[in-house]
Amino acid sequence: MNEELAALCQELELSKAVQAVIQKIETSLKAIEIKPNDLQWRILANHVNEMFNRAKEGTGIPEIDGQLFSGISETSMQLAEEVVTEIGHLSPDEKYLLSIHFESAKEN
């Protein structure tokens, strides 16, 4: 994990488990040449942290119409699905919300 991202994780007081997933996301994004800016990392880290909280508490998000996300690339959706699977105990619909972070970072 790069120094800036590690500092952000410390600032946000993210658990080791959340940090591990953030690190995997960073590695995956580097491999496909997606480079989130600082604000995008902050928002993504907070989202992943909330996903962990929902998984731990057994709470979910409202059902999402996947058709609304038909414009999201397969790459972004696949990465989001991998993260949702990694965290576990989440609604499969979480991938839709998470994929937006990856898709928007492609524009950088």
Tens of pLDDT, residue by residue over 14-38, are: 999 999 999 999 999 999 999 999 9
30, 100 Cβ separation under 8 angstroms: no
All domains of the chain, ordered by start, with CATH?
3-106 (1.10.1790.10)
Nearest to 48 by CA among 97, 104, 93: 97
- Band of residue 1 on the pLDDT scale cut at 50, 70, 90: confident
Backbone angles phi, psi at 33, to 5 degrees: 60, 40
* Prediction pTM value: 0.93
d(CA 103, CA 76): 6
Contact partners, residue 68, CB within 8 Å, separation at least 6: 96
Residue in 87, 98, 102, 22 with CA at minimum distance from that of residue 64: 98
pLDDT in tens, 43-94: 999 999 999 999 999 998 999 999 999 999 999 999 999 999 999 999 999 9
pLDDT score at 28: 97
